[in-house]
Structure 1
Amino acid sequence: MDRRRFLGAGLGAGALTLAGAARADQATRERFHAAMVRDRALGVYADTTGSQAGAAILSGRLPPDLQGSFYRNGPGRFELGGERYHHWFDGDGFAQRWTIAGGEVRHQGRFVATRRHTDESQAGQFLYPSFGTHVARRGFRDNDTLNAANTNLLPFNGRLYALWEGGSAHELDPETLATLGVKTWRDDLRAMPFSAHPKADPQGGMWNFGALPGASRMALYQIGAAGQVLRTALVPIARLAMVHDFAVSAKHLIFMIPPYDLVAGEGKSFLERHAWAGSGPDARPLRIVVVAKDTLAVRQEFELPPDMVFHFGNAWEDGDCTRFDVVLHHGDVLAELGGLMAGRRPSTLQGRSETVQVCLDYASGRASTARLFGAGEFPRVMPQVVSSRHRRLALLGAGRGAELSSVNLVDTDSGKVDGHDFGEGWQVEEHILVPRRHARSETDGYLVGVAQDLRKGVGVMTVFDAACVADGPVVLARLPYRTPHCFHGNFLPA
């Protein structure tokens, strides 16, 4: 793999030089804290300092067969030296572990000791560029200098990895969450982008990708069950912009390329270089790029109306077609999420997103969609059905405001929804499906996640019986403190 060419095209000629600009600022910090006085619920996006550890108080009955570690990851530090980042995605990774054992639930959390977090902690100020905030007080050599390690926490092959999408995985101690170092899968892959959404391979191991829009290339990885690199490839994709997730079926890797132009811009953040091209008379479509697993080459491309995409559910082969679940966001939602850092909430999600099932017909070259659910996010399926036909899709749903407040299990055949809405005063994080041992169906298990009690300002682990979500959580594990809002995580059975 031509690592030098891949990295160089994306970082640009100025990567090794020292610049003087900084746009994380005190004014953003002041606006956020003033807004938080009026709206205590904004505490979900408040700055976190130091580590966390504590026991949860249980309400309800903890299922005796649910034992293990629920790992979560998300941004935790947004402020330093009197300045505040401009975007939610910029914060330093804060890894969390909810341990379920012996009828008790314990929580621990600590920052991932990345190069960025270490350097900036020592300096007492932000030094490097991030996703949505341009800071250039110190030069950098590669992607891993900027690595926030803030998006997912993946147990794999007896190890634990904190993932970001622009650089390497960071290995953590599965028990203590201490950072062990940067993971290099192979010497020529050092500092290559490695996305936060790898997918399990039913034959063992995993698939992943790394996108670098400036190079118009997508790196593909097949990793074996023992952690060995089986295959890699560089696939050319024109007009490549931010790609956060993908879907994997038995035969294909599926990517959706939202209609952004990546514009030049010295002194601009990565986000600010994304210009939405999905509206107006010259609007471009949402492109679907299908890569064949056997060749690691593009098989076919499809088009849908212009939308933004973050997360997929699952994909499978249906005769001569491929089907997959995905959440479509209507319009450019990237910049709007940045307003959270200044205390501005996005407007309601209702009518602005929907979960659909996409059918790719290879013979006709057409893609079609069928609606599964309304406004929501974070679709997940049972791990045993990944890359094969599934009939249940877990995802969060939006309430009246901008918060995700409900947990739902959708029957993809009938459209029936088995859901529970926490209601006003709660903000729900991603929930994942955890099968019982020797599970016989996709509802034979639990929905496990975290919800933020906004009124009391504390983090709560929630457990639902996947066969009857509407009955409400079977147990709530309430902490005596707030936990940073996480993006993604996974459950490792004991």
Structure 2
Amino acid sequence: MNRRQLLASGAALGLLPATAFPNTDTFKQFHAARERDPTLAVLANMVGERAGDAVVKGRIPADLDGVFFRNGPGRFELGGERYHHWFDGDGYAQRWQISQGKVSHRGAFVATQKFIDESEAGQFLYPAFGTQITRRGIRGNDTMNAANTNLLPFGGRLYALWEGGSATELDPRTLATVGIRTWRDDLKSMPFSAHPKIDQDGSMWNFGALPGGGRLALYHVGPDGPLLAAGVVEVPQLAMVHDFVISGQHLIFLVPPYDLLADTALSFAERHAWAGSGPAARPMRAVVVSKATLQLRQVFDLDPHMVFHFGNAFDDGQTTRFDAVLHGAGALASFGALMRGERAPNLAAHSFTAQIRLDYASGKAHQARLFGNSEFPRVMPQTVGRRHRKLAVLSSAARNREHILDTVNLVDTDTGKADSFRFDAGWLAEEHVLVPRRNARSETDGYLLGVVQDARRSETLLSVFDAAHVADGPLALARLGYRTPICFHGNFLPA
């Protein structure tokens, strides 16, 4: 795979100079709204590092021992300006240490080149996902790298991940930034998604999307860090692809029907024009790649939807089955209102978790609704790429008409029945992950671990559930005496 050939059609985000900064209305609107509604502090700007011990209510299980790493956008404002989209903020890495029934926390910004340059300048300089800023020219994808989406422990190292550029290595104990991780010299600054999948042999699969270039870059990394293989798959009319899923034999991507507009005065998010409706409507495509050859195997058509996240996939004879959370056309742009302090309509209320079956012999894809409004699907790590029967998702109670996820669910993928717990009004649930006990014998033999925000008190808590009895409520809640930014994704590393 030649990097120059891959980037010949433009940088991964296809961004070129336009205007200095669109406007400062977002900053003014948010702070006016926060004065009226203090619970908007969950979306406020974060400044500096935080560290402290949590106060535990309940009991942390003795065999739950390790570190829960989390990452999400934390800096939304600089120099009196505020980003226009939630996905724009600079990455704020978090480390929850769980040991002997106690919990401690540390949070720090990822010191990317972007973060350093803009901190020194006292203002935003570079284009972001949903805010087109061009005060300073970009030298490559990593000039814009916000490192704000996931935090992955792998091969004894820790990586802060974005999707438009390289992985950024952090010190797993202090969260100090080590620097850019380049898997091979000719792949420097190539897109490397925030959703790698760890296979049963300990190796890592990942991809990088090149929207506007019609290509997916593919990576297979060994358990200790060497690049085992890399490849390229041609995907015409490729726009944003955020996640993927692996089965025993395949890599599977869902490509939503967007056209990528050429207007460089718009941000990357604004350049996405929905093409899934009207007389010339296009389907969503399922693109299947062979793990053995990194070559395209087959493409399937599905009803048009937007998709952010997948659950798991497994091969079943001449078919592959997988879970995906599907959204409507407006999902990509819906987070801008949050940055203005507006109570955006609940995105999850218009979503659902689907089970999709790809039949290679007939060339047909079959879709069935598994669970209602939902997001952030996760499975037990020992089931990745294999047959699974339990899927953790977040959802929203019927009372919530705003963008709030407040219910934790463990869904039976055979029946659709869920073991669920709803947090109190004014609480917001972040992604929860499944953590197996040592030598676990089932998919419920372990814990459901996550983070929740108590917006009324502007404090953050770690939550621990017994995966076999979610409806009984948390075994423990570990409360910090301060607020942390809302994270997108993270992973647990057992001691």
Tell me the TM-score normalized by structure 1.
Answer: 0.97
Distance change >3 Å, CA 104–CA 154, structure 1 → 2:
same
1:307 paired residue number: 305
Deviation at 1:394, TM superposition (A): 0.4
2:9 paired residue number: 9
Secondary structure in structure 2 of the residue aligned to 1:9: coil
- The number of residues matched between the two structures is 492
- Equivalent residue letter for 1:394: A
Are the equivalent residues in 1 in contact too, given 2:348–2:395 (CA < 8 A)? Answer: no
2: CA distance between counterparts of 1:39 and 1:25? 23
Deviation at 1:13, TM superposition (A): 12
2: CA distance between counterparts of 1:368 and 1:164? 31
2:429 paired residue number: 428
Q: Is residue 246 of structure 2 the alignment partner of residue 245 of structure 1?
A: no
Q: Deviations over 1:159-205 (max 9, x none)?
A: 00000000000000000000000001111110000000000111221
Q: Deviations over 1:383-439 (max 9, x none)?
A: 001000001000101122221100000011122110101032111000000000111
1:151 paired residue number: 149
Deviating more after overlay: 199-208 vs 126-135: 199-208
1:39 paired residue number: 37
2: CA distance between counterparts of 1:63 and 1:164? 33
1:370 paired residue number: 368
Deviation at 1:12, TM superposition (A): 8.8
Q: Identity of paired residues, percent?
A: 63
2: CA distance between counterparts of 1:10 and 1:190? 15
1:267 paired residue number: 265
1:119 paired residue number: 117
Deviation at 1:22, TM superposition (A): 2.1
Secondary structure in structure 1 of the residue aligned to 2:98: strand
Secondary structure in structure 1 of the residue aligned to 2:382: helix
2:162 paired residue number: 164
Deviation at 1:236, TM superposition (A): 0.5
2: CA distance between counterparts of 1:157 and 1:25? 43
Are the equivalent residues in 1 in contact too, given 2:198–2:384 (CA < 8 A)? Answer: yes
1:383 paired residue number: 381
Q: Is residue 455 of structure 2 the alignment partner of residue 454 of structure 1?
A: yes
1: CA distance between counterparts of 2:344 and 2:6? 35
Deviation at 1:363, TM superposition (A): 1.1
Deviation at 1:103, TM superposition (A): 2.1
1: CA distance between counterparts of 2:13 and 2:313? 39
Tell me the TM-score normalized by structure 2.
Answer: 0.97
Secondary structure in structure 2 of the residue aligned to 1:10: coil
Are the equivalent residues in 2 in contact too, given 1:150–1:164 (CA < 8 A)? Answer: yes
2: CA distance between counterparts of 1:92 and 1:239? 29
2: CA distance between counterparts of 1:470 and 1:10? 50
1:23 paired residue number: 21
2: CA distance between counterparts of 1:186 and 1:173? 21
Are the equivalent residues in 2 in contact too, given 1:349–1:398 (CA < 8 A)? Answer: no
Are the equivalent residues in 2 in contact too, given 1:29–1:342 (CA < 8 A)? Answer: yes
Are the equivalent residues in 1 in contact too, given 2:437–2:445 (CA < 8 A)? Answer: yes
Q: Deviations over 1:432-459 (max 9, x none)?
A: 0000011110000000000000111111
Distance change >3 Å, CA 239–CA 14, structure 1 → 2:
closer
Secondary structure in structure 2 of the residue aligned to 1:384: helix
Distance change >3 Å, CA 397–CA 20, structure 1 → 2:
closer
Secondary structure in structure 2 of the residue aligned to 1:35: helix
Distance change >3 Å, CA 97–CA 13, structure 1 → 2:
closer
Secondary structure in structure 2 of the residue aligned to 1:335: coil
Deviation at 1:266, TM superposition (A): 2.2
Are the equivalent residues in 2 in contact too, given 1:327–1:377 (CA < 8 A)? Answer: yes
2: CA distance between counterparts of 1:369 and 1:145? 40
- Equivalent residue letter for 2:70: R
CA RMSD of aligned residues (A): 1.4
Deviation at 1:349, TM superposition (A): 3.9
- Equivalent residue letter for 2:229: R
Q: 1:107 aligns with which of 97, 105, 108?
A: 105
Q: Deviations over 1:280-301 (max 9, x none)?
A: 2222111110011112111111
Q: Deviations over 1:345-376 (max 9, x none)?
A: 22134651100110001111111112211001
Are the equivalent residues in 1 in contact too, given 2:334–2:347 (CA < 8 A)? Answer: no
2: CA distance between counterparts of 1:240 and 1:20? 23
Distance change >3 Å, CA 322–CA 12, structure 1 → 2:
closer
Are the equivalent residues in 1 in contact too, given 2:331–2:347 (CA < 8 A)? Answer: no
2: CA distance between counterparts of 1:197 and 1:58? 31
- Equivalent residue letter for 2:484: T
- Equivalent residue letter for 1:229: L
2: CA distance between counterparts of 1:472 and 1:460? 14
2: CA distance between counterparts of 1:282 and 1:56? 55
Deviating more after overlay: 71-80 vs 2-11: 2-11
Are the equivalent residues in 2 in contact too, given 1:20–1:137 (CA < 8 A)? Answer: no
2:277 paired residue number: 279
2: CA distance between counterparts of 1:27 and 1:286? 35
Are the equivalent residues in 2 in contact too, given 1:24–1:86 (CA < 8 A)? Answer: no
- Equivalent residue letter for 1:45: L
2: CA distance between counterparts of 1:451 and 1:281? 44
Deviation at 1:50, TM superposition (A): 0.4
Q: Is residue 359 of structure 2 the alignment partner of residue 361 of structure 1?
A: yes
Secondary structure in structure 2 of the residue aligned to 1:50: coil
Are the equivalent residues in 2 in contact too, given 1:24–1:85 (CA < 8 A)? Answer: no
1: CA distance between counterparts of 2:441 and 2:43? 40
Are the equivalent residues in 2 in contact too, given 1:25–1:85 (CA < 8 A)? Answer: no
2: CA distance between counterparts of 1:430 and 1:279? 31
Distance change >3 Å, CA 366–CA 342, structure 1 → 2:
same
- Equivalent residue letter for 1:261: D
- Equivalent residue letter for 2:208: G
2: CA distance between counterparts of 1:22 and 1:322? 47
For structure 1, the residue ranges without an aligned partner over 5 or more in a row are none
For structure 2, the residue ranges without an aligned partner over 5 or more in a row are none
Q: 1:204 aligns with which of 194, 202, 205?
A: 202
Are the equivalent residues in 1 in contact too, given 2:435–2:446 (CA < 8 A)? Answer: yes
Are the equivalent residues in 2 in contact too, given 1:32–1:343 (CA < 8 A)? Answer: yes
Secondary structure in structure 1 of the residue aligned to 2:111: coil
Are the equivalent residues in 1 in contact too, given 2:18–2:132 (CA < 8 A)? Answer: no
Are the equivalent residues in 2 in contact too, given 1:90–1:133 (CA < 8 A)? Answer: yes
Which segments of structure 1 move beyond 4 Å, counting only runs of 4 or more?
12-15
2: CA distance between counterparts of 1:351 and 1:304? 21
1:293 paired residue number: 291
Distance change >3 Å, CA 12–CA 492, structure 1 → 2:
closer
Deviating more after overlay: 380-389 vs 323-332: 323-332
- Equivalent residue letter for 2:361: A
Alignment of 1:399-414 (within 5 A): 399=397, 400-401=400-401, 402-414=403-415
2: CA distance between counterparts of 1:149 and 1:43? 22
